[in-house]
Amino acid sequence: MTNQELSLLRSRLSQVMEIDSHTPPNGRYLIHSLYFDDYKDTSVETTNSGLSKRFKWRIRYYGDDLSYIVLEKKEKLESRCHKKSCRISVEEYEKIVSGDITDIVYDTDKELIKELAVDMLTRDYRPKVIVDYERIAYVEEITNVRITFDMKISASYELEKFLTGDYQNYYVLPSGTNLLEVKFDDILPSYIRNIVESYNYKQTSFSKYYYGRKIIDCYMR
């Protein structure tokens, strides 16, 4: 969607939905994600092939706040997504990305770290790409609907600089192109559906990780 379409849709949604309570004063927040993959690039291949059952590992933080770093495993089955997550410290982050995970398996009581450690030890999961973007999010808590607008989606291969934010980015989408995502449980209320569908957007699958890898591969050739 274009910037103009985004502005119009935001104006209409703001009348029936609330802005996400975690949103900073400027109305949007910056998301940094470090994605992992194995020695076969399985996450890339399963996304490209459209495999109905797949998962991705990532570490994420928001803005420049390193007090809240999250390890996530995002699993997808058919059209449904499930996410497991736990907070990690900078020290735990550094051990994970360095591959120094043998000790951490025994030292931590966080099951998700242990699960990632097993994948790193048995399938050689390692950091592969950084993906950044700005997000505006609206929520309707009664029916648990979440609508997000992701802008300025970019990727970087300077993995060692992830926590500093001081790395070269390459945009994944053309300038002025934004991503709209609608998340809901079982039913999308008609008053929200009518607003979104009135713009005749084409529904498609979009993986920020997959396209981040593609753009970086182009620049690294």
d(CA 68, CA 52): 31
Question: How much of the chain, in percent, has pLDDT values that exceed 90?
Answer: 65
Per DSSP, helices labelled H in the chain are 3-13, 42-49, 90-98, 102-107, 111-123, 190-197, 208-220
Regions in the chain scoring below 70 on pLDDT: 78-79, 202, 221
d(CA 149, CA 178): 7
- Residue 157: how many other CB atoms lie within 10 Å: 17
pLDDT in tens, 115-125: 999 999 999 99
Polymer length of the chain: 221
Q: pTM of the predicted model, to two decimals?
A: 0.91
pLDDT in tens, 94-148: 999 998 888 888 888 999 999 999 999 999 999 999 999 999 999 998 889 999 9
